[in-house]
A and B are shown apart, each in its own frame.
Chain A
Amino acid sequence: MTYAKWGLVLMISLLLVGCWDQQEITDLASIAGLGFDVGSYPHTVRMSFMTSPPRAGLGGEGGDGSRLRVMTVEAGSFTEALILLQGHIRRQPFFLHLGFILFGEELAKSGLNGQIAALQGRSTIRGSVPIFVAQGTAEEILTARSGIGHAPGQDIADLLDNLAEAPLGRPTTIHNVRNVLGGLGSEITAPILELTPLRLQAGDEKPEVGLGLANEQLREVFVRRLAVFRRDRWVADFDQYLVQTFVLLTGTTKMGSLNITNPADPKSIMGIAIANFQARFEIKIEGDKVEVEILPRVKAIVREVSGSYILRDRGLEPIAQNIEQEVNRQVIAVMSFLQEQKADALGIGDMIRRQQPDVWARLEPRWGQLFPQITVSVNTEAEITSTGMLVRFFEIKRGE
């Protein structure tokens, strides 16, 4: 009996032999970044794949960035592009290590629906991959060479690592876009990547040989703006002065910085760090008239003072008042910008839906027209929690 049992097990295991899914790790080409642009023919999309071919031989220092390659394929669909790419690189493109997805400006303005659907349909692409949009084309950004010893695309990888530090809030993902496309949630924003020529000063290191042609313009990638999407279309963008306030208002980050005028010396400024920013929205609806009162609470730290401010004479109250004025001004600016663009990126509509579903059902069809007419009032409450370690700098005496 036992031999029969073992025989059965053996037979079964022989039957199972197949290793269908087995795939050597060296047969894969890990795609680190993906860019989409409008193609040169109608109904085509230009897709750029950033991959790092492993180096042969010893050592485990692959992926050091110096070997990142960008390949561009123009095809009607994502699937077709993959087949073309596979024929070119002779390895299986592998997306589970995808770091980011980048959309070109033109494509983003004409709608991302098709691309998002293609990405979502693949089980090997995680829904949590962050999305960026490019000022210009995605390909341009991916292939940009910058810095010292940096490879194409490496800038974005570095940027991603430090995204938490940049005042951009939580990155937008494929899933966010999908949720918005489903008619739920508010408009979304995505960071805009821009290129700027790298200015090398005298005494800087020369770029390594072999990184590009001698006369190639080195550029670096930076982010200071956010694209506002309505559904899947890029409809407006924030300038860098509004970005921080916007992100603070969405609540995805709580820290930032602020410049205010010195109450004692209007020609000089004070640098304030925002340690905690919390905004409460109070919405009053009467008929079609919607009033929004935004109540930010700011905890601030005085970091630097140019000019003189004598603390023991004036106290902290004037500083707090200036902070409140400045925050009010910025919030109003954000709101009027959003109303101008008819983009409810802060999700006022969503708040109404959650608080008063029946009222929202009435307002929803006309929300596009109602939103620009909302009355907005801001009332900030600022509290200075710390003036830092140095107290004496408040009494700088000019030698007059």
Chain B
Amino acid sequence: MQKTTRKMRKPVPVRELTKADIEKGQFSGNLKQDCDALRAVLSASADLKERTIKMSDGAPCAVLYFANLTNLALISESIIEPLQRHGGAQGILHIAEQVVHVPEYKAEGDIYQVACALSAGTVAVLLAGEAEALLLPLLELEQRPIERAIQEDILIGPHESFSESLGKNLAILRRRVGSPDLKIKQLMVGRRSRTTVAIIYLAEVAQPILVAEMEKRIQRIDIDFTYGINYLTDFLDDEPHSVFPTLRSTEIPVRVVAALMEGRIAVMAEGDGSALIAPTFAPEFLQASEDYFDRPLSATFFRFIRMVGLMISVFLPGTWLALVSFHHGILPTPLFNSIQSGREGVPLPTVVEIFVLILAFDLIVEASTRMPTRIGQALGIVGGIILGQAAVQAGLVSPALVIIAALTGLAIFTQPSITFISVLRLLKYPVLIAGSLLGIYGVVWALIFMLITVTAIRSFGYPYMFPVAPFNLEGELDIFIGVPKLWHAKRQKFLSPQNERRLDYE
């Protein structure tokens, strides 16, 4: 792995999960006192429930839990009932091992830790005379079932997507990768949200240094709250200020598995239905997962279409502007005449016209994204057809430009990655500005400027434009051509030098 030459932000020392602002203390063994101490830490928690029990030998004990976070039936069945039938004389470990019917347990003496565990859906059992509480996890949450992917719709192949539960997501991955090589490292992020973040990789395939780097970057995060993994992108990214995403976000398990198999690593967080894949290279945003289920020839064609879509969505407005207001000699004569006739009487200069139209298109897109689906469709029709038609008939814009704006807007949505679509929607504006200043020279200028920017970026130390620059034949073929799977016998060498061969076929 190439060492990253980019300057990293200075590492912030990982802050100990804080007790500073909360009363410090251990359990004393006095049940009443301990319960009060715990209540003090969790003061003003209306949903905290406490149940005191007399055990069969008369020893008092208390069961504490958050009502809507735990399974009440299980508490009464597996904890309260056995406790009532047994004595407490043999200590808390005896209770854990012999009495309660819960798969996991932990003894904890720290009041603050117990409070944290309670918030995470654990039941705490306090026994008189014991300076430790017994923690029995019985989390139960109403959760979204596994559903069809919404953001990235898949035509062929498995449709399932991640849900908000990290455990369930990891289980999905486990089910798809049977090998014990699938490793999952868990880390805690968020001073207050205390979100679990998991690094997922294949032990024999991924490079250990990559995993270590990811771990280092996650540990460096000191934030009090995170929405989910996408919220952490800024901290994990090599270039947080760049418009280009160096981590790919996906909500489809198959895609994560495919990435793991190439020697990449994935990061997921509790409460977020998407995974980040690192390292990610820019040309990969053109690949859709259907390409690998489709016939090679049609996959090639679709990739070509996406490539054309990419070029059109970024460069068409700028190039068109350069053509019609700088280099008129290039247009075929009949087209020249027809554009000239179409523009006759239009009051706005071409630059303003094209800006207004493209901005209007982006407005429509943004509006229909925020709208409920049905209204959104109607809005699209209203915006697209009526606005365009009316503008032309009112003589405000020339007819050719409406086509250009619509084509540009449409072409963007050929891209399979939602992250990349937002980048493309942005990128056409600088090209347009450059084109409006210096014609085709400006467009090429913008192209080279972007290329310098993109090629200078690294994703976890790997060049971001990987199969294109530095050139790699196999990688490049996979970008432009739907390569038959038999040709994919090897992993990328620098992603997985220790385990290159992935296919043997006689």
Q: Is B377 an interface residue (CB 8 A)?
A: no
| B442 to A, closest residue via Cβ | A16
> Max chain A CB contacts within 10 Å: which of B328, B395, B436?
B328
Q: Is the CB of B334 within 8 A of A63?
A: yes
Q: Is the CB of B343 within 8 A of A19?
A: no
Q: Is B341 an interface residue (CB 8 A)?
A: yes
Counting chain B residues whose Cβ lies within 8 A of the other chain, the interface size class is 20 to 34
Q: Is A97 an interface residue (CB 8 A)?
A: yes
| B393 to A, closest residue via Cβ | A58
Assuming the contacts A54-B341, A55-B344, asked whether A25 and B399 have C-beta atoms less than 8 A apart, the reply is: no
Interchain CA distance A15-B476 in the complex, whole Å: 39
Assuming the contacts A25-B325, A30-B336, asked whether A19 and B342 have C-beta atoms less than 8 A apart, the reply is: no
> Max chain B CB contacts within 10 Å: which of A2, A61, A62?
A62
A374 smallest CB distance to B (angstroms) = 44
B311-355 contacts to A (CB < 8 Å)? 324-326, 328-330, 333-334, 336-346, 349-351
Q: Is B406 an interface residue (CB 8 A)?
A: no
Q: Is the CB of B339 within 8 A of A17?
A: no
Q: Is the CB of A60 within 8 A of B333?
A: no
Q: Is the CB of B333 within 8 A of A97?
A: yes
| A2 to B, closest residue via Cβ | B241
Assuming the contacts A13-B433, A97-B336, asked whether A60 and B342 have C-beta atoms less than 8 A apart, the reply is: yes
> Using Cβ atoms and an 8 Å threshold, which residues of chain B touch A185?
none
Interchain CA distance A16-B336 in the complex, whole Å: 28
> Using Cβ atoms and an 8 Å threshold, which residues of chain A touch B241?
2
Q: Is A94 an interface residue (CB 8 A)?
A: yes
Q: Is the CB of A60 within 8 A of B339?
A: yes
Interchain CA distance A30-B346 in the complex, whole Å: 19
B213-251 contacts to A (CB < 8 Å)? 241
Cβ-neighbour of B340 out of A21, A26, A124 (below 8 A): A26
> Using Cβ atoms and an 8 Å threshold, which residues of chain B touch A25?
324-325, 328, 336, 339-340, 343, 350
B330 smallest CB distance to A (angstroms) = 8
Q: Is the CB of B351 within 8 A of A56?
A: no
Interchain CA distance A59-B342 in the complex, whole Å: 6
> Using Cβ atoms and an 8 Å threshold, which residues of chain B touch A2?
241
> Using Cβ atoms and an 8 Å threshold, which residues of chain B touch A94?
328-329
Q: Is the CB of B344 within 8 A of A56?
A: yes
Q: Is the CB of A62 within 8 A of B338?
A: yes
> Max chain A CB contacts within 10 Å: which of B324, B341, B342, B399?
B341
| A99 to B, closest residue via Cβ | B333
Interchain CA distance A62-B330 in the complex, whole Å: 18
A160 smallest CB distance to B (angstroms) = 11
| A32 to B, closest residue via Cβ | B333
| B340 to A, closest residue via Cβ | A54
Q: Is B439 an interface residue (CB 8 A)?
A: yes
Q: Is the CB of B341 within 8 A of A55?
A: yes
Q: Is the CB of B329 within 8 A of A124?
A: yes
Assuming the contacts A16-B438, A25-B336, A99-B333, asked whether A56 and B328 have C-beta atoms less than 8 A apart, the reply is: no
Q: Is the CB of B395 within 8 A of A57?
A: yes
Interchain CA distance A200-B419 in the complex, whole Å: 70
Cβ-neighbour of B326 out of A16, A22, A57, A97 (below 8 A): A22
B10 smallest CB distance to A (angstroms) = 14
> Using Cβ atoms and an 8 Å threshold, which residues of chain B touch A61?
338, 341
Q: Is A262 an interface residue (CB 8 A)?
A: no
Q: Is A23 an interface residue (CB 8 A)?
A: yes
| B323 to A, closest residue via Cβ | A25
Assuming the contacts A17-B437, A19-B436, A28-B328, asked whether A52 and B337 have C-beta atoms less than 8 A apart, the reply is: yes
B202 smallest CB distance to A (angstroms) = 35
Assuming the contacts A13-B433, A26-B343, A54-B344, asked whether A63 and B338 have C-beta atoms less than 8 A apart, the reply is: yes
> Using Cβ atoms and an 8 Å threshold, which residues of chain A touch B340?
25-26, 28, 30, 54, 62
Q: Is the CB of B333 within 8 A of A24?
A: no
Interchain CA distance A63-B330 in the complex, whole Å: 17
B328 smallest CB distance to A (angstroms) = 6
Number of interchain pairs (Cβ within 8 Å): 93
Cβ-neighbour of B328 out of A13, A17, A57, A96 (below 8 A): A96
> Using Cβ atoms and an 8 Å threshold, which residues of chain A touch B328?
23, 25, 28, 94, 96-97
Assuming the contacts A96-B328, A97-B336, asked whether A21 and B433 have C-beta atoms less than 8 A apart, the reply is: no
Interchain CA distance A25-B353 in the complex, whole Å: 13
> Using Cβ atoms and an 8 Å threshold, which residues of chain A touch B350?
24-25
Q: Is A18 an interface residue (CB 8 A)?
A: yes
A254-279 contacts to B (CB < 8 Å)? none
Q: Is the CB of A23 within 8 A of B344?
A: no
Q: Is the CB of A24 within 8 A of B349?
A: yes
B349-402 contacts to A (CB < 8 Å)? 349-351, 392-393, 395, 399-400
> Using Cβ atoms and an 8 Å threshold, which residues of chain B touch A97?
328-329, 333, 336
A368 smallest CB distance to B (angstroms) = 41
Interchain CA distance A36-B328 in the complex, whole Å: 25
> Using Cβ atoms and an 8 Å threshold, which residues of chain B touch A28?
328, 340
B450 smallest CB distance to A (angstroms) = 12
Assuming the contacts A2-B241, A23-B325, asked whether A16 and B339 have C-beta atoms less than 8 A apart, the reply is: no
> Using Cβ atoms and an 8 Å threshold, which residues of chain A touch B344?
26, 54-57
> Max chain B CB contacts within 10 Å: which of A2, A13, A55, A63?
A63
Interchain CA distance A90-B453 in the complex, whole Å: 45
Q: Is the CB of B437 within 8 A of A18?
A: yes
A219-241 contacts to B (CB < 8 Å)? none
Interchain CA distance A1-B349 in the complex, whole Å: 37
A1-35 contacts to B (CB < 8 Å)? 2, 13, 16-19, 21-26, 28, 30, 32
> Max chain B CB contacts within 10 Å: which of A21, A25, A56?
A25
A344-363 contacts to B (CB < 8 Å)? none
A76-133 contacts to B (CB < 8 Å)? 94, 96-97, 99, 124
Interchain CA distance A2-B453 in the complex, whole Å: 13
Interchain CA distance A279-B325 in the complex, whole Å: 49
> Using Cβ atoms and an 8 Å threshold, which residues of chain B touch A52?
337
Extra 13 A-B pairs, beta carbons < 8 Å, given A22-B439, A55-B341, A58-B393:
A16-B438, A19-B437, A22-B351, A23-B325, A24-B349, A25-B325, A54-B343, A54-B344, A57-B345, A58-B399, A62-B340, A63-B337, A96-B328
Top 8 closest pairs, chain A to chain B, by CB:
A96-B329, A63-B337, A62-B341, A60-B338, A62-B337, A54-B340, A54-B341, A56-B344
Chain A interface (Cβ < 8 Å from any Cβ of B): 2, 13, 16-19, 21-26, 28, 30, 32, 52, 54-63, 94, 96-97, 99, 124
Q: What are some 14 contacts across the A-B interface (CB < 8 A)? A: A16-B438, A23-B325, A24-B325, A25-B340, A28-B340, A30-B333, A54-B343, A58-B392, A60-B338, A60-B341, A63-B334, A63-B337, A97-B336, A99-B333
